[in-house]
Amino acid sequence: MFQDPRYIEQLISKFHDGNISSDELKLLVDWYNMHDDSHVTIPMKEFENRDQIKERMLGKLITRIKEGKPVHIKRFQSYRRRWIAAAILLFAFFASWSILNYLRNKELVQLAHTTIEAGGNKATLKLANGKEIELRTDQGGIIVGKNILYQDGTVIEDDDFFNHSKNNEKLILETPRGGTYRITLPDGTDVWLNAETTLKYPSHFTDEHRTVEVLGEAYFDVRSVYRGDGSKIPFKVISKQQEIEVLGTQFNISAYPEQSYSKTTLIEGKVILRDSKKQFILKPGYQATTTAESTELRQVHTANYTSWRNGKFSFDGKNFAEIMNEIGHWYNLTIIYEGEIPNEELVGDAFRNQNLQFVLRVLDVAEIDYHIDIPNRKLIIKEKKY
């Protein structure tokens, strides 16, 4: 029956009309899962990949359903193209159908009307005298020099900053839960702050050293700077359990206070990493995990640990608690476990600009039971469904 495109079309039509049986739905899902269209070219917007077009189509379908508009399957001339279109639309229909069924449940009706939205550009700049400047959410970052500028060149007018700059006092850039921001430091080094992260830095660097402190998660693209004699000025990052010294390189640090470890992942260049006992040389493609007892080095797929900077969650290569912590930081949720933390391996990725409903589909796929306490912003992980 899988070879008969007319039968598949009949199932899709039944699915669309809401009168498909459970056996027929299973056949339709099995057909979709066995279908390989990875080599087929699908017309899409410029720079839009196959996952993005699925997400875009899903968003349009949900909007049509909410507005009460019908959803039609476009017919293509050839059976091959018709199968490809059906496969993509089936993905969107299945997600929409699942959401609508969830909405029949009283608890999730509340969730639909009180959605927990994704984070965005949010940060506070704190001066040494305690003054706080709430940075604009329509900007993605600031540039620190003689003045403080937004990335579009707009000057942040603040007389107090000039006094702090003159005295070379420590400044603090802080993102809340559900916030991210970028800063270009006085030496040209770029730092991206993930949610709930604090960066302490001087208003300008000297020829002796460049030192900053980070608590949370940040991505560094360190610029090489030279003294008058031609020697490089080292750049140091102090985190919870690590001290990193670099000359010019790119790396990611994860050092949240609630974590029992600090992780540094090197993308390019070379860094000297010190814990309380030893010194290590970290090479590109390697990650150093430091606990109170020791530091371990391992080779990793670095994109899994830097995808947040590109607006995505990456679940590959991480344990369940790490993934839930990332979701908690971004959506401003407290993660609570009723019992043991599930020993479940989650794979794939998700866009961080989606609301929580879509991201939590990863738990549904893994058959993890959970409950969302919206008023108190809690995600309660229960147990594996059997």
pLDDT of residue 185 exceeding 90:
yes
Q: Name the CATH architecture for the domain at 120-305.
A: Sandwich (2.60)
If pLDDT is split at 50, 70 and 90, which confidence band does 36 have?
Answer: very low
DSSP state of 197: E
Give 342 or 262, the one with higher predicted confidence: 262
318: Cβ contacts below 8 Å, ≥ 6 apart? 304, 346
Task: Please name which of 219, 220, 221, 256 lies closest in space to residue 241, comparing C-alpha atoms.
Answer: 256
Mean pLDDT of 21-48: 52
CA dihedral 194, 199, 203, 204 (to 10 degrees): -90
Instruction: Give the Cβ contact number of residue 184 at 10 Å.
Output: 18
Q: Tell me the percentage of the chain whose pLDDT exceeds 90.
A: 46
pLDDT value of residue 30: 63
Q: DSSP for 252-310?
A: EEEE-TTSS-EEEEEEES-EEEE-SS-EEEE-TTEEEEE-SS-EEEEE--THHHHGGGG
If pLDDT is split at 50, 70 and 90, which confidence band does 367 have?
Answer: confident
pLDDT of residue 5 exceeding 70:
no
Most confident segment among 231-240, 346-355, 374-383: 231-240
Instruction: Give the Cβ contact number of residue 121 at 10 Å.
Output: 16
If pLDDT is split at 50, 70 and 90, which confidence band does 264 have?
Answer: very high
If pLDDT is split at 50, 70 and 90, which confidence band does 33 have?
Answer: low
Residues in the chain: 386
Backbone angles phi, psi at 176, to 5 degrees: -85, 180
CATH for the 311-384 domain, from 3.40.50.1460, 3.55.50.30, 3.40.50.2300, 3.40.50.720: 3.55.50.30
85: Cβ contacts below 8 Å, ≥ 6 apart? 73, 74, 76
pLDDT value of residue 112: 46
Neighbouring-strand partners of residue 262: 290
- Please check whether residue 298 is in contact with residue 291, taking contact to mean a CB–CB distance below 8 angstroms: no
pLDDT value of residue 167: 64
Task: Please name which of 35, 170, 18 lies closest in space to residue 97, comparing C-alpha atoms.
Answer: 18
Alpha helix (H) residue ranges in the chain = 5-17, 22-34, 50-66, 79-103, 106-113, 159-167, 303-306, 320-331, 356-359, 361-365
Task: Output the CA torsion sign for 278, 279, 284, 288.
Answer: positive
67: Cβ contacts below 8 Å, ≥ 6 apart? none
- Structural domain boundaries in the chain: 5-104, 120-305, 311-384
Domains 120-305 and 311-384 are alike in CATH topology: no
Task: Output the CA torsion sign for 257, 283, 305, 297.
Answer: negative
Mean pLDDT of 265-275: 95
